[in-house]
Amino acid sequence: RSDHEAELSSLTKVAAACASLPHVRVVRLVASFIDDSHGGCCCLVTTPVARTDLSKLLSSCPQQDYSFDDALRWALDIATALSALHRTAKLYHGDVSPRNVLLGHDGHAYLTDYG
């Protein structure tokens, strides 16, 4: 539960920091609950944006090709998210890696896993 509480705390800070910044592409908290039917499992519900994470796309290359413009857009999305989180909430991610970047159905990259 301590991991759940740390992630919930971080997501709450992220939501507050980005409330007035809709252009910042981060995975946002929708709800949190304890599922007693599964032994008290802690559940976080976040925005449904992902088609895959970046690590899966990179491991499938060259079968799933992507353009330089795609890569540049993703880098800008993540840099913008990191900058906004640093400036508004003094949050530091600590593990920016392809597995913590979700690619949305809209073609943009979203930063996730703040725990």
pLDDT for 62 equals 67
pLDDT digits (tens, 9 = 90+) for 80-96: 988 888 888 777 777 88
pLDDT digits (tens, 9 = 90+) for 32-80: 777 777 666 676 666 667 667 788 877 766 666 788 899 999 999 999 9
* Among 3, 15, 11, CA closest to 42: 3
CA pair distance 11, 73, nearest whole angstrom: 24
- What is the b/e burial string over 4-23, where b = at least 16 CB atoms within 10 angstroms of the residue's CB? eeebbebbebbeebbeeeee
**7 in helix, strand or coil?**
helix
